[in-house]
A and B are shown apart, each in its own frame.
Chain A
């Protein structure tokens, strides 16, 4: 035991000295450290080798030499997974810490098959329907509404391996927004099909994403360019401007001209220069005329309807892309933001030309990259960070613009996402959104899941926290990228989007959700199923017998080692107040998980 400790302390000393040195020089770190990769052929025996069932970590001497036993690597891996995924399970953290190869992990994720959300949603729907009927409900009283997509979203995020793609898709879902709040038919596949567009193109190209978004019937209904006819002078009607405006303002270029580092280009008076005029919007609105149904529902077809421009959204099949009805498309040339789209083109050619214009606009790279960084890593990326990522967006080194794989990699491997220096900067980080706090906890903890169904409709959660995937109040998402809460963030003229939904009501609401997940221990409780998914408190009994061990474990998987000595002491005091007994071991895990979940070391991602 004595020997083991000595080795590990010595190792830690050297490593930390190395890290400090490198971090201060602000170059990429973690390429190597003492012991890492140099353990082959070395056998280590020590009296401190200690393996205990029920523990996720064991004290084995070799780990000290190969680096696998060092907490700093696990913490770094945990931190990385909190940004690149919604956190990791202890074994995922351990595996990544062992390889210590974040780029390799990203490349591995790029090879994984995409979870098909439409398929999964249909599977979940069928399961839920079966359970509903088994529970005495009638088939006709089962409605395949958006709740079932929500079930599938949690099922995918809880169980599927393509975690980076899902993390990126969730980020995109807060940029290229659709929502159940609006006029989309309350139907599971409308959302699943759209989400597949996000999932697919998260590892594709931003232009392809925008095109599939523009043609998707769910977006068409949400932003009302579905069945948007050309100008009709005699009826005094004009093209709908909704999608044209928001694709520019929210999905691509934004309101004011930007430098490549994301800063605003200002005029002589110090004010931003608008990227487009009302006339540009009216012109672009003409481009998005003529799109109508690409398919109709079986029910509609069976009633004798057929697909046409006049197909209403009630009969629309949301899983089939919209079709261009050229006779309803506004002919003539369009002048948009200095670019001429010539007359005589088909509607689709007009749309392609408009998307080219958008992709060629100098704002698109810094605008989109800033939003992605804000989603995945931090609220206030430096100019250098935005600039570095925007450069990759503009050209992935093979001359391709908008390659999101390259962009995601650039975001996650950037020193500003990785180094200790940036992590400990008091202005660097973000508030995790409520769903992220929920999902990370659920993923990281040991659960009892009798039926493997990680389903929640999220209704109660959303009412308490004002957040739920695909449920934002409008296309402006749950929060604006420029939101400045009162206090030190605004005083520093910085932003913190997620704080826009963090207030006297939702802050307590989240604490009470955490209370439910820990004290009651229910994580998922779908109404169709008799059994819930619960926190497996017994799993932690061994750890809970020693508060320090339990705190260490939760700190690693939830806070990637960010718990301060003070917070650790606060939690330890509470745990030690419960004398060790079987009942109290359960109470200790409830207590520790709750306190750490409400501590800012968990809610703030740094």
Chain B
């Protein structure tokens, strides 16, 4: 050992090779699989063009939207039952906005008074509702539920489980990966871009877009940024950039270090490319409101606008609009939040029409669960079936799909506290979106293993709200 100016040096070096570090890691766990390579081997690469572009935009209404006040019984008998059960949560019949639709079991429905944009989208054939849809492993009646002789979704009425099931499509299990992620595992290779995931999230990690191999690429409503100062041409930054790259390029054995570095490295490499492509497109003519949802949807539209330069022919987008867990103040909260949803959808639709891609993009909602029809004083609690909406030029618009049961408390689909058993499964709903997206029936059955409990022909659209035309 050579003497050093500082006593720490030689000693430090010595300990580094004989202390904790020397005992050392011995298990080399398999590295993060390069999903692009896997996908590329499985499917032929096809050129992306605007003709062959499809995107799904998933809007999560996190917390469990009280959607019986979004899509509301409006004709007399249906409204009276609704009003009796909902008591102080019921909207006045006269305020409910009219939807022009084929009556459902003889009843007609409308939307919340502060959703005129959604009414207009519906009445002009650009939007439809799927009523009383929820997580199911297999069809179940009230008697079967009470007898406990059918398989149920795990963790019914629990936020974390139900919101997971909507995103995984496997309510009988607790899985880590989602159906959007599984789709990306299958079709990422159709995109020419192998730097940025086809699954773009405006709200970070989410189960919907988490594949077995594919991980979402997250950006903020303001876009994405690289590392500050990176690429500045001076001695300091040249040295720092080299060091950053050397840290990112090192091989790590520790599973947390490896995951940390692979995420950061992917972010660094993808963010600049993505932002440059977005910036090169210029602004959209469509005006977006200054709400959180509209600003997120604006960024989605900008990424879609850059699809060709980025080389994307298939994409999913994830947007979380949170804050729907209204155990309290349901009516007031909805007055504040439903307009944001309604306006955001209309603005996004306008932007898609501006870009000429409205038939290429389908926007849909998911939410943890519907809420109890009965009131807890001035709010509602966790329940089961709810109402979802789907928007886009490929949607068979202006219809209400599914069965919207009458909401009388003695209804055959009603459990205690006004919990409505779903009459359409989220699996059917999401399978249809996947089929429209171009996923083969075999793969759909693989992603949504319960689908065969609801249909004997997984290749057919189970509900019929999508138009397979394009």
Contacts and interface: CB of A to CB of B under 8 A. Distances in A.
B264 A507 contact: yes
Contact of B204 (A69, A238, A466): A466
Interface in A1-32: 1-2, 4-6, 8-9, 12-13, 16, 19-20, 23-24
A512 B10 CA distance: 34
B229 A278 contact: no
Contact of B268 (A57, A494, A508): A508
A5 B12 CA distance: 11
Given A48-B7, A236-B374, A424-B21, A494 B255 contact: yes
B382 interface: yes
B260 A420 contact: no
A263 to B, nearest CB: 15
25 contacts: A9-B10, A70-B15, A181-B322, A224-B327, A235-B87, A239-B376, A278-B416, A424-B21, A426-B255, A474-B159, A476-B159, A487-B32, A487-B215, A488-B29, A488-B32, A492-B29, A499-B205, A501-B204, A508-B267, A508-B271, A511-B228, A578-B239, A600-B256, A600-B257, A606-B256
Contacts, number: 333
Nearest to B256: A604
A477 B104 CA distance: 41
Given A282-B416, A595-B243, A240 B30 contact: no
B19 A561 contact: yes
B42 interface: no
B229 A13 contact: no
Contact of A240 (B18, B20, B216, B381): B381
A404 B339 CA distance: 47
Contacts of A299: none
Interface of B: 1, 3-12, 14-16, 18-25, 27-33, 62-63, 84-85, 87-88, 154-161, 174, 176-177, 201, 204-205, 210-220, 224-229, 235-236, 238-240, 242-244, 246-247, 250, 252-264, 266-268, 270-271, 322-323, 325, 327-329, 372, 374-377, 379, 381-382, 416-417, 419
A508 B274 CA distance: 14
> Closest 3 A-B residue pairs measured CB to CB?
A600-B257, A59-B7, A487-B32
A424 B25 contact: yes
A347 interface: no
Contact of A503 (B31, B228, B235, B267): B267
B235 to A, nearest CB: 7
Interface in A486-508: 486-492, 494, 496, 499-508
Interface residues of A, number: 121
Given A183-B329, A546-B5, A574-B239, A16 B260 contact: no
A594 B227 CA distance: 12
B377 A72 contact: no
A141 B160 CA distance: 40
Interface string A32-73: 000000000000000010100000010100000000011110
Given A48-B7, A224-B379, A489-B259, 12 more contacts: A2-B3, A181-B322, A238-B375, A241-B381, A473-B62, A474-B62, A474-B63, A487-B259, A499-B259, A515-B227, A577-B238, A603-B260
Contacts of A430: 256
A262 to B, nearest CB: 16
A364 to B, nearest CB: 18
Contacts of B16: 561, 565
A570 interface: yes
B10 A431 contact: no
B229 A424 contact: no
A111 interface: no
Contacts of B160: 249, 476, 480
